[in-house]
Structure 1
Amino acid sequence: MDHVLAQLLHERVFATLSVLETENRAEPPATARLTAAWRTLLNLHEPTDTGACKACGPRWRKHMCSVWRVATAYFMTPNLSTPP
């Protein structure tokens, strides 16, 4: 995947997680744990300089790994209350 596009996607997903954390401060601690878990999982699956996924390896050099595809499907939707 193009590195510029991957970086923009990365920024957008993490921005969405930040919005969820900010909007749900009064919610139970489960929301905070869930967003923290997503952040950790996505950091483990960051692309390397060559575009490969750190956790999945070089087979995902041309495409997003499955973790980032799921995150994109859920966090890049216009309405966060309705999953794809």
Structure 2
Amino acid sequence: MDHVLANVLHERVFAILSQLESASTPQATISLTSAWRTLLTLHEQTDTGACKACGPRWRKHMCSVWRVATAYFIRHDRDSSPP
């Protein structure tokens, strides 16, 4: 996967996780976001573009963990799109 796109996705997902960890968030949500952070950190890209945990087969595409994170945390708000 393109390093620039990977960095943008990484920053956006971790920003959303930070928002979820706000002071008014229940402890269960904070534990869940902490688990996501740990999992995503284990699956970061290496300098060659491979996933640290999954290996070099994911050099050109996101590994399955990052695909799921992107699907859950990076969504287009369809309700706010113009008619």
Question: In the alignment, which residue of structure 2 is the partner of 1:11?
Answer: 11
Q: Quote the Cα distance in structure 1 between the aligned partners of 2:74 and 2:24.
A: 24
TM-score by length of 2: 0.87
SS in 1 for 2:21: helix
Find the counterpart in structure 2 of residue 26 from structure 1.
24
The DSSP-based 3-state class of the residue aligned with 1:51 is: coil
- Show the 5 A alignment for 1:36-55: 36-55=34-53
Q: Which runs of 5+ in 1 are unaligned?
A: 80-84
Unaligned runs of 5+ in 2: 78-83
RMSD across aligned positions (CA) = 1.1
Deviation of 1:27 after TM superposition, in Å, equals 3.7
Distance 1:27 1:35 in 2: 11
Segments ≥4 residues shifted beyond 3 Å: none
What secondary structure is seen at the aligned counterpart in 2 of 1:77?
coil
